[in-house]
Amino acid sequence: MNTRSPESTEAATTDEQVGNMPWLLDAHLDLAMNALEWNRDLTRPLAELRASEAGWTDRPDRGRGTVCFPEMRRAGVRVCVATQIGRVDATGRSRVAAWQSSAQAWAMTQGQLAWYRQMEADGELVSIRDRTSLERHLQSGEAARASRAPIGYILSLEGADSILTLGHLEQAYAAGLRALGLAHYGPGIHAQGTDATGGLTARGRDLLRELDRLGMILDLTHLSDESFWEAVEAYPGPVWASHQNCRELVPHQRQWTDDQFREVIRRGGVIGVVLDGWMLSPQWVRGQTTPQSAQLHLDALVDHIDHICQIAGNARHVGIGSDLDGAFGTEQTPLEVNSIADLRRLEPLLRARGHTAEEVEGIAHGNFLRFLREVWR
């Protein structure tokens, strides 16, 4: 059981405590999932969200969430990659939330899209779809940490099970979708995901051709090893990993081998590192280990950052893809992380490892920003 109090609030962390981190681009946040499936009003302060879930037992992370718009602004998150997600498992036996048909999954992603649209209308978010909208947002001069300025979001689809036809992908692109992962957990319609084996399906190869025609980013996160290598061979377009850690440090199929990192780096891609405890601690047992029992600290995340830097020979291919509140909360985050604002604690840790101010800025946002500018030029 987690010994950190679910009632701990954002007030437990002051801006003075968390360093001088540059503004952040978080490459993976499941915002709409939290809003619609977890029933969290992300416009409210974190303390209110946690209090509203007091006594709820339907999910292990109840009362332990870390993400809301006020905390994202405190963190200095000016841009994020925000997901739609609608996985299919016709058996109904999956331990990961899933629908029984692609039609249901598509409908779920359209509900998520409607929520993003409403957040735009309410001034909480602004859609980033191309180089023009990216630069317009960055040049607005409004510091997200200091005001209620809209947070820029790039729409991504985590797992493509909801794409019924290539026409549905074209429709999603027209609505703002700019990145897509072929699979999530288990066997997928287009590829195989975490805890599964095997390669791409015929539909997956067709989908890759359409992704290339549209000029979209292929997110290689969650793919099985076989699907990963078939995808990078088949897809000539831009690739990244929105949230991915290192198998050399935490042995599990969900993590990448050094050769997989080398391939994405060779392609000019960027990798976002993840704050999920079971991807940071090699001894982690889901449902049993706690951040306290593992003595899990943010230094573990810096270990993964540095490992990727060693593979690349520089710090230009790694960033942050926190996955915070991706079906886990503070029961599964490093001990220093009470909210997303604590990402700012990374700055002194990175400097202590010898990273220059320029490298810290690259990890905070510059590397993903460079990638997007190159893809969208």
d(CA 248, CA 311): 11
pTM here is 0.94
Backbone angles phi, psi at 88, to 5 degrees: -115, 130
Q: What is the pLDDT of residues 337-357, one digit of tens each?
A: 999 999 999 999 999 999 999
Contacts of 187 (CB under 8 A, 6+ apart): 193, 196, 198
pLDDT of residue 18: 52
- Does some domain include residue 368? yes
Report residue 70 as tokens.
């006020």
Report residue 53 as tokens.
């879930």
Residue with tokens 């905070």: 364
CATH of residue 187? 3.20.20.140
- Does some domain include residue 7? no
- Does some domain include residue 259? yes
Number of C-beta neighbours around residue 164 at 10 A: 15
- Does some domain include residue 6? no
d(CA 161, CA 193): 11
Total domains in the chain come to: 1
How large is the average pLDDT for residues 38-54? Answer: 98
- Does some domain include residue 8? no
How large is the average pLDDT for residues 188-210? Answer: 97
Say yes or no to pLDDT of 16 above 70: no
d(CA 241, CA 254): 12
Mean per-residue pLDDT of the chain? 93
Contacts of 254 (CB under 8 A, 6+ apart): 194, 195, 222, 279
Report residue 106 as tokens.
């598509």
Task: Sort 55 into a burial class: Cβ within 10 Å, 0-12 / 13-18 / 19+.
Answer: exposed
- Does some domain include residue 4? no
CA distances from 264 to 50, 167, 213 (A): 38, 28, 20
Q: What is the pLDDT of residues 85-136, one digit of tens each?
A: 999 997 766 666 789 999 999 999 999 999 999 999 999 999 999 999 999 9
- Does some domain include residue 3? no
Q: ∠254-256-324 over CA atoms, to 5°?
A: 55
Say yes or no to pLDDT of 315 above 90: yes
% of the chain exceeding 90 in pLDDT = 89
pLDDT of residue 118: 98
Q: Which domain holds residue 147?
A: 17-375
- Does some domain include residue 10? no
